[in-house]
Homo-oligomer: A and B are copies of this chain.
Amino acid sequence: MDFSDFNISIVGLGLIGGSFAKSLRKCGFKNLWAIDINQENLRKAEELNIIDKGFTNPSIPLSKSDITIICLYPELVVKFIQDNLKNFKENSIITDATGVKSNIVEVIQNLIRDDIDFIGGHPMAGKESKGFDISSAKIFENADYILTPTMRNKPENIKLLKEIIKEMKFEKIVETSVKDHDEMIAYVSQLPHIIATSIMNNSMADKENICSGGSFKDITRVSNVNSDLWVELLIENKDNVVKQIKDFITQLEVIENLIDLKDYHKLKEIFDKGRENKERI
């Protein structure tokens, strides 16, 4: 698709915003701008030629942007839109990259101007650490992207966003409701982070000379997490996360009980079912 008619602004040039800039640069937009309070990162992005220009004042780029991608922490997304309500270009599209949607999509759709189309988005990609310097177009390649459109969104705008997402080499684009998104994310993303952190807080982790194999390395990888962001996301999605932890504990207790009973056959059934599910997903 030809994107040369569109101006695009990225708000927040951290790990995700920087990765958007690096990935979108290849798509041929008329102008690709970034907005951040960190002038150093804007300067670096200009020098790398992954944006056309960086701005600390959002009013100019927003007033000319057909699409604005907000890559801020959840609470700041709403605040940024509130503070810039008058600045957005007429009939433009806004999307975000937030990992939890319930307190974002409805709140924003209720407060924005009628002519603006806010479509919730979530690129399922990241790294254990944070910041512009480790951003990379590669983290998006073959990753999944979730959109949470509502009846308020214009079909042609959803279509345009999907074209851009495909161009960035994401593998799968899935549309879900806000409710389904937050339920799924509690399971596929937030629970794994809680597990990794729980394992690393076990008293055994304090021992000297811990040996480990691949399973331990893999399962604890994401314990090296950006805690500011993740704690905010967990609290934002409180009810779903608590439900997932409870379900998971129930499942652990089933296995614990069967081990205690030395019930070889029922344990084997559970492990075989797990392998089948893994192969299917």
A interface residue numbers (CB < 8 A to B)? 124-126, 143-144, 146, 172, 174, 176, 183-184, 187-189, 191-207, 209-216, 218-225, 227-228, 230-232, 234-235, 238, 241-242, 244-249, 251-253, 255-256, 259-260, 262, 264, 267-268, 270-275, 277-279, 281
Cβ A144 vs Cβ B213 within 8 A = yes
Cβ A204 vs Cβ B187 within 8 A = yes
Cβ A222 vs Cβ B218 within 8 A = yes
Report which of B219, B222, B248 forms a contact with A202, defined as CB distance below 8 A.
B248
Cβ A267 vs Cβ B234 within 8 A = yes
- 9 interchain pairs, CB-CB under 8 A: A124-B213, A195-B195, A196-B278, A198-B251, A200-B273, A219-B219, A232-B264, A238-B262, A249-B253
Q: How far is the CA of A194 from the CA of B259 in the complex (A)?
A: 11
Query: Number of copies of this chain in the oligomer?
Result: 2
Q: Is the interface of A mostly helix, strand, loop or mixed?
A: helix
Q: List residues of chain B with CB within 8 A of the CB of A192.
A: 199, 215-216, 218-219
Q: How far is the CA of A235 from the CA of B256 in the complex (A)?
A: 10
Q: List residues of chain B with CB within 8 A of the CB of A196.
A: 215, 219, 274, 278
Cβ A197 vs Cβ B268 within 8 A = no
Q: List residues of chain B with CB within 8 A of the CB of A202.
A: 187, 244, 247-248, 251
